[in-house]
Amino acid sequence: MFSNGQLIFALLFAVGFTLIVILSYRSDKKKLPNYFKGSYKILIGFFVAFSLLVLIKYLTQK
């Protein structure tokens, strides 16, 4: 389906993008702490919603 080069590029891109987002978040959080209060709740909500979608897909595939 994908070549080895495409898979390596996708993996490196995902890792690089994640690192850049984390570093940007940390620097912005230090500069503007009031805007980031409670942001962990949004992250938890995202993971819960994503997990529910995966669970629904898994349960309906049988």
Q: pTM of the predicted model, to two decimals?
A: 0.61
pLDDT for the residue numbered 4: 94
pLDDT per position as a tens digit, 2-60: 899 999 999 999 999 999 999 998 999 899 888 888 888 998 999 999 999 999 999 99
Cα(13)–Cα(11) distance, rounded to whole angstroms?
5
Backbone angles phi, psi at 25, to 5 degrees: -60, -45
- Decide: 28 and 36 in contact? Cβ < 8 Å: yes
What pLDDT, on the 0 to 100 scale, is given for residue 40? 85
Whole-number pLDDT of residue 33: 86
The rounded distance, in Å, linking the Cα atoms of 44 and 14 is 20
